């Protein structure tokens, strides 16, 4: 009998347990599986490694990847290289948190429940909204679920989406909308922000929601208030996707008229991890409280009158409503919501302002430095937060440029031609507080040298 460090079953155990059950062999426990479908032979999966061999194998695999410690990153487009305070990993490494299930038994899950309640409170503070949920899979799925909510709340089928929204969020929205048979209308952009004339022309009394992102995919700050006024005139809803870190500095979308605010909390102390797991957030104004998808934690009292927390408003959820559910989301991203909460606790009132301001300052210094390079120009003139678009000289081989930058120790920006054919040869540059003036200057030299 093979032994394994995670399995305590000894031969004596096995014999004793089989005897208690009243069978002679393990095989008898599998008699109900027909012979024809019993798997014969060894499973075609990777071979076994001891713990040391596993660490060697995986550190070799990890070592084959350029990362934020080996290279200075100027890549953003939804995932950012922010400083992650040391405290976060210590908190999320406490196994009382990470080895727990969804807090269905509130008496022994008060820690998790309170942490989620605080996360909801943080998100409401940042976004200026009345109610936030316990989190979603990521920003893109939160965006798509916002479309579903808007359609259900307005009983309308049309969603108007700006092309300045993250391309992958729009793709996920497309997939979800196809599921629920909703219509998606995309609106173009002008000088890096939503084309307001086109938007105004498109909105009608059939419009369930206008869906924008601010700062948008190009880094530009959208006029949230204007969007709200336009869609509210037709009794539709405004969905805003917002980078939560930018909200240290930018006005809360809730104060500008947003009905649903969503986004990805990755900038708040969550590892990039090739794009996942991150944590979507989802916040609504009061009238939509009972339509919000996913888990929600509420405050209550125990039999002694003591404050406590429980999962609440569960009548909305799939395990109660089954086929009548409006969303099938079951899990949330609790551990990453915890990361984001710890981040906001560490940053506090002043830190959130300071980190947002550092992003603003360093990205604008970079903007000025890069556009001083001959042949490189700024594509859009609208105000930006920590990302901006540059046009590379005509005929630049962007793929070759990326490889040269990697060799020089940099992860280059995002090539926009991939999603916006009209922007081939344009690069989206992101600059966080982690980039020093020296790195920025060196990056500019490397870029100039490669052109």
Partner 1 sequence: MTQETTTTTTSVQGHSEEGTSFSTPAQSETATTFSAQTLSPAPEQSLIFELSSPGRIAYSLPECDVPRQAADTLIPREMLRSEAAALPEVFEVDVIRHYTALSRRNFGVDNGFYPLGSCTMKYNPKINEDVARYNGFAKIHPYQHESSIQGALELLYTLQNDLAGLTGMDAVTLQPAAGAHGEWTGLMMIRAYHEGRGEQRTKVIVPDSSHGTNPASATVAGFETVTIPSRADGLVDLDALRAAVGSDTAALMLTNPNTLGLFEKDIQEIASIVHQAGGLLYYDGANSNAIMGITRPGDMGFDVVHLNLHKTMSTPHGGGGPGAGPVGVKSRLIPFLPKPMVIKNDDGVYSLDREGDQSIGRVKAYYGNFGILVRAYAYIRTYGPEGLRRVSECAVLNANYMMARLAPYYEIPYPGVCKHEFVMSGRGLKQYGVRTLDVAKRLLDFGYHPPTVYFPLNVEECIMIEPTETESKETLDGFIDTMIRIAKEAEETPELVLNAPYGTPVTRLDETTAARKPVLNCACS
Min CB(243)–partner 1 separation in Å: 14
Is the Cβ of residue 350 or residue 374 nearer to partner 1 in the bound state?
350
Q: Which is nearer to partner 1, 184 or 234 (CB)?
A: 184
Shortest Cβ 209–partner 1 spacing (Å): 17
Nearer to partner 1, 110 or 379 (CB): 110
Q: Quick one: 72 exposed, middle or buried, by C-beta within 10 A (0-12, 13-18, 19+)? A: buried
Tell me how far, at minimum, the Cβ of 188 lies from partner 1, in Å.
Answer: 21
- Provide the CA 423 distance to its chain's centre, in angstroms: 25
- What three-state secondary structure class fits 383? coil
Residues near 224 by Cβ (< 8 Å), separated by ≥ 6? Answer: 212, 214, 238, 240, 251, 253, 256, 257, 258
Could you give the C-alpha distances from 291 to 10, 60, 183, 316, in angstroms and in order? 51, 47, 20, 7
Q: Return the C-alpha torsion angle 35, 38, 40, 46, nearest 10.
A: 180
**Closest C-alpha among 263, 195, 206, 205 to residue 234:** 205
If the CB atoms of residues 235 and 418 are measured against partner 1, the closer one turns out to be 418
Contact assessment for residue 326 and residue 333, using Cβ atoms and an 8 Å cutoff: no
**Closer of 121 and 204 to partner 1 (Cβ):** 121
Q: Exposed (0-12), middle (13-18) or buried (19+): which is 145, by Cβ within 10 Å? A: buried
Report in angstroms how near the CB of residue 390 gets to partner 1 at its nearest: 16
- In order of 8, 116, 180, the CA distances from 146 in angstroms are 47, 20, 13
The interaxial angle of helices 437-450 and 398-407, nearest 10 deg, is 130
Cβ proximity to partner 1: between 243 and 326 the closer is 326
> Considering the complex, what minimum distance in angstroms separates the CB of residue 131 from partner 1?
5
* Identity of the residue, 190 or 349, whose beta carbon is nearer to partner 1 in the bound complex: 349
State how beta strands 414-415 and 207-213 pair: unpaired
CB 313 within 8 A of CB 289: yes
If the CB atoms of residues 97 and 234 are measured against partner 1, the closer one turns out to be 97
Q: Specify the residue, 10 or 204, whose C-beta has the smaller distance to partner 1.
A: 10
CA dist 249 and 268 (Å) reads 14
Closest approach of partner 1 to the CB of residue 89, in Å: 8
At CA 334, angle to CA 296 and CA 273, rounded to 5?
140
Torsions phi, psi of 410, nearest 5? -125, 145
Q: Provide, rounded to whole angstroms, the least separation between the CB of residue 273 and partner 1.
A: 4
| Min separation Cβ 376 and partner 1, Å | 18
* CB closer to partner 1 out of 235 and 437: 437
3-state secondary structure of 381: coil
- Of 134, 157, 140, the closest CA to residue 309 belongs to 134
State which residue, 96 or 191, has the beta carbon closest to partner 1.
96
> In the bound complex, what is the minimum distance in angstroms from residue 60's beta carbon to partner 1?
7
Nearest distance in Å: CB 155, partner 1 = 16
The alpha carbon of 298 is separated from its chain's Cα centroid by a whole number of angstroms, namely 23
State in angstroms the smallest separation of the CB of 391 from partner 1.
Answer: 19
């Amino acid at each position: 009998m093979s032994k394994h460090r995670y399995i305590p079953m000894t031969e004596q155990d096995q014999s004793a347990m089989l005897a208690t059950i009243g069978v002679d062999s393990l095989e008898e426990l599998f008699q109900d599986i027909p012979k024809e479908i019993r798997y014969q032979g060894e499973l075609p999966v990777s071979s076994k490694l001891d713990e040391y061999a596993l660490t060697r194998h995986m550190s070799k695999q990890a070592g084959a990847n350029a990362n934020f410690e080996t290279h200075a990153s100027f890549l953003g487009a939804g995932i950012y290289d922010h400083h992650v305070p040391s405290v976060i990993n210590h908190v999320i490494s406490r196994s009382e948190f990470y080895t727990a299930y969804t807090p269905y038994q509130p008496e022994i899950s008060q820690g998790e429940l309170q942490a989620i309640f605080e996360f909801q409170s943080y998100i409401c503070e940042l976004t200026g909204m009345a109610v936030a949920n316990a989190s979603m899979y990521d920003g893109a799925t939160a965006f798509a679920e916002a479309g579903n909510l808007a359609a259900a709340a307005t009983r309308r089928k049309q969603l108007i989406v700006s092309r300045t929204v993250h391309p992958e969020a729009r793709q996920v929205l497309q997939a979800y909308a196809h599921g629920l048979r909703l219509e998606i209308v995309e609106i173009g952009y002008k000088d890096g922000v939503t084309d307001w004339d086109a938007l105004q022309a498109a909105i009608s009394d059939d419009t369930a929601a206008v869906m924008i992102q601010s700062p948008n995919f190009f880094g530009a700050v959208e006029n949230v208030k204007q969007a709200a006024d336009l869609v509210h005139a037709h009794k539709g809803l405004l969905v805003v996707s917002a980078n939560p870190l930018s909200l240290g500095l930018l006005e809360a979308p809730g104060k500008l008229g947003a009905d649903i605010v969503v986004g990805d909390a990755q900038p708040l102390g969550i590892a990039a991890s090739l794009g996942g797991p991150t944590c979507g957030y989802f916040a609504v104004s009061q009238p939509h409280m009972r339509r919000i998808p996913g888990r929600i934690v509420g405050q209550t009292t125990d039999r002694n009158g003591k404050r406590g927390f429980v999962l609440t408003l569960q009548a909305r959820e799939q395990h109660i409503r089954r086929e009548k559910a409006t969303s099938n989301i079951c899990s949330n991203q609790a551990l990453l919501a915890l990361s984001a909460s710890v981040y906001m606790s560490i940053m506090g009132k002043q830190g959130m302002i300071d980190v947002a301001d550092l992003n603003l300052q360093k990205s604008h210094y970079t903007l000025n430095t890069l556009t001083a390079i001959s042949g490189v120009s700024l594509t859009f003139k609208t105000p930006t937060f920590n990302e901006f678009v540059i046009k590379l000289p005509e005929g630049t081989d962007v793929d070759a440029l990326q490889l040269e930058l990697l060799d020089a120790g940099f992860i280059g920006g995002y090539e926009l031609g991939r999603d916006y054919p009209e922007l081939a040869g344009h690069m989206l540059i992101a600059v966080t507080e982690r980039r020093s003036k020296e790195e920025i200057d060196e990056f500019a030299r490397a870029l100039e040298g490669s052109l």
